């Protein structure tokens, strides 16, 4: 009998969002793989979960995936968590998931808090259909080229980026999209959520909402 690969969603800021099923799954796992050791152990320590922890990230994904696969073949139940939110969502893990699907190994998904869904619901926009682009390039020229790819779409478009590039990204949106309603979600579920006035001071020429 092979083990089960558990993809366990974790809170995006507020630990109260951790589900009972996710906690039970982590408690019952033989080993837990996290994106970064510091973040992973902090979460487990908060919930008093004492398990062996290893890293699975962009630096060791190939090697770690082989280790996970062999442990699953030996009957061990393995859980994967990211620093926050949903595993594999803009995070490593696709390689081991593909191997498990190909080999017929059982995979279970524990849903939970998700930054994408939280942001589009809070935006108030029409989200019956939306386009998720993900992270833009940190290089200005490439980023502008990427934006032009979805410039003509009338659907809500969702992008991710680092807070310190916010001004640059908003300036690019102004230059490429013209008049456009923009919603920026920052630190959702945390006490450090911002109000709309802060962003309007930065991006004063557009209609902007900020959380």
Residues carrying CATH 3.40.1010.10, the chain:
5-110
Give me the pLDDT at residue 206, please.
Answer: 37
Q: What is the mean pLDDT of residues 147-163?
A: 87
CA distance 7 to 111: 8
Q: Which residue has the higher pLDDT, 181 or 3?
A: 3
pLDDT in the model for residue 78: 98
The per-residue pLDDT for 183 is 87
pLDDT in tens, 40-82: 999 999 999 999 999 999 999 999 999 999 999 999 999 999 9
Average the pLDDT over each of 32-41, 103-112, 160-169 and give the range with the smallest value. Answer: 160-169
The pLDDT assigned to 44 comes to 97
Q: Mean pLDDT throughout 174-196?
A: 79
Whether 205 shows a pLDDT value over 50: the answer reads no
* Contact between residue 207 and residue 182 where contact means Cβ atoms under 8 Å apart: yes
- A 10 A CB-CB count for 103 gives 11
Rounded mean pLDDT, 139-156: 89
| pTM metric for this prediction | 0.84
In this structure, what are the phi and psi dihedrals at residue 85, rounded to the nearest 5 degrees?
80, -145
Domain with CATH 3.30.950.10 in the chain: 115-210
CATH assignment, 5-110: 3.40.1010.10
Tens-digit pLDDT profile for residues 84-103? 999 998 888 999 999 999 99
pLDDT in the model for residue 194: 59
Over the range 158-185, which residues count as b (16 or more CB within 10 Å of their CB) and which as e? bbebeeeebeebbebbeebbeeeebbbb
Determine the CATH number of domain 115-210: 3.30.950.10
Distance CA 88, CA 81 (A): 9
Q: What angle do CA 197, 198, 204 make, to 5 degrees?
A: 75
Rounded to 10 deg, the angle between the 61-73 and 94-103 helix axes is 30
């Amino acid at each position: 009998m092979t083990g089960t690969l558990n993809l366990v969603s974790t809170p995006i800021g507020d630990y109260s969002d951790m589900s009972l099923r996710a906690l039970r799954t982590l408690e019952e796992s033989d080993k837990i793989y996290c994106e970064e050791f510091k973040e992973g152990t902090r979460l487990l320590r908060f919930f008093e979960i004492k398990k062996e922890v290893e890293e699975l990230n962009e630096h060791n994904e190939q090697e770690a995936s082989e280790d996970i696969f062999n442990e699953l073949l030996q009957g061990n139940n393995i859980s994967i968590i990211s620093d926050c939110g949903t595993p594999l969502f803009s995070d490593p893990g696709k390689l081991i998931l593909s191997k498990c699907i190909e080999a017929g190994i059982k995979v279970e998904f524990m849903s939970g808090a998700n930054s994408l869904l939280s942001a589009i619901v809070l935006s108030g926009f029409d989200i019956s259909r939306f386009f998720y682009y993900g992270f833009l390039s940190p290089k200005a020229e490439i980023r502008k080229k990427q934006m032009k790819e979805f410039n003509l779409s009338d659907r809500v478009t969702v992008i991710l980026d680092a807070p310190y590039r916010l001004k640059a990204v908003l300036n690019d949106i102004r230059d490429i999209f013209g008049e456009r309603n923009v919603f920026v979600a920052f630190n959702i579920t945390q006490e450090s959520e911002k109000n709309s006035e802060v962003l309007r001071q930065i991006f004063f020429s557009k209609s902007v909402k900020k959380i």
